[in-house]
A = this chain, B = another copy of it.
Amino acid sequence: VRGIPEVRAGDDVAALVAEAAAAPGGPGLLDGDVVVVASKVVAKAEGRAVPPQDGEDPDRARRRLALAHEVLVETPGVVVVRTPAGHVSANAGIDASNSPSGDLLLLPADADASAAALREALRTRLAGGGDVGVVVADTVGRAWREGQVDVALGLAGIPALRDERGMPDRDGRPLSVTLVAVADQLAGAADLVRDKAAGVPAVVVRGSGSVGRGDGRGADLLRPPAVDLFPHGRGWLARRLATGAGAPARPGPPTAEERALVAAAADGARWAGDALVARDGPAAGIGLACLLDLGYRAELQRGPGGYLVRVG
């Protein structure tokens, strides 16, 4: 959707998108379309811009604001955090570019609510009636992979995931692990036809067949920290022990496999009930660190006979 003007606080994004889509050369808007809107324009319209403090560099201000969240990784250049809504993002998704005033732009406060409001407003503008889906998209980096992709921060009118688990494959065997992140892939597909510099903040995805198949939420795409296999980045352990930040949240007890692994890591320590008995101080420190790394709460105690690490 080309020709959307610069969005300002209080603007009606649905009207701007619908009018630009209906302009000559535009894609129009039809029943079943999914409209992917950049979180940036939604945030601008919702007045989520905040000025830096007096004399503060925008990058420093962004870092300060990002550090107010749960920090997963902190490096001199970037802070990866989990927002209160559970979204994991570099610099908390706070944008310091594209703002003539130098203001910082926070993510929408409730991207699902933003998506739902956009959907309602766009539906009323459909000439022949019907329904549309909306994705509010954010640009994120990934673990292990270079480059950023767009993902669904909030959504309305479509499912977040397509569950193919248990469905038969071509040979009639059940598909084992296939839970497709449809909303994220819609966001990524939309990103293919716009570049940030050209300012194409909304894209119509036609023919995905996802509208009316469910009404998902952004949270459907978030893996709960307690079951995430990759909860923390490099240096989390030191930060946890030095500052107490990002306390482990996994319910115990450890599995038998984990107990054996920790005992072996801690130089032949042994388990007595829910406590790891270490033969010396270094082994106890290592045992404590391994349990924290596994996501459990653990505490080191010095007893009369040596060192104990208690879980939970």
- Which residues of A does B touch, CB under 8 Å? 6, 73, 75-76, 78, 80, 88, 90, 96-100, 139, 142-151, 160-162, 164, 167-171, 173-182, 184-186, 188-189, 191-193, 195-197, 199, 205, 207-208, 210, 220-223, 228-243, 255, 257-258, 261-262, 264-266, 280-290, 293-295, 300, 307
Contact = CB atoms under 8 A, between A and B. Distances in A.
Nearest to A237: B293
Copies in the complex: 2
A6 B282 CA distance: 58
A2 to B, nearest CB: 13
Nearest to A219: B146
A287 B281 CA distance: 12
Nearest to A281: B281
Given A289-B237, A290-B238, A290-B289, A161 B189 contact: no
**Most chain B beta-carbon neighbours within 10 Å: one of A161, A174, A205, A290:** A290
A99 B164 contact: no
A23 B186 CA distance: 28
16 contacts: A76-B255, A97-B175, A98-B169, A143-B143, A143-B230, A145-B181, A150-B185, A167-B196, A193-B207, A235-B290, A237-B289, A240-B265, A266-B285, A282-B284, A286-B288, A293-B293
Nearest to A280: B281
A240 B57 CA distance: 41
Contact of A185 (B171, B192, B281, B307): B192
Nearest to A236: B293
Contacts of A236: 293
Contacts of A295: 234
A78 to B, nearest CB: 8
Contacts of A208: 192-193
A175 B196 contact: yes
Given A180-B195, A242-B265, A282-B285, 11 more contacts: A88-B144, A144-B222, A148-B178, A149-B180, A235-B290, A239-B261, A242-B264, A266-B285, A280-B281, A284-B285, A289-B289
Contacts of A230: 73, 143-144, 230, 232-234
A195 B164 contact: yes
**Most chain B beta-carbon neighbours within 10 Å: one of A144, A241, A289, A307:** A144
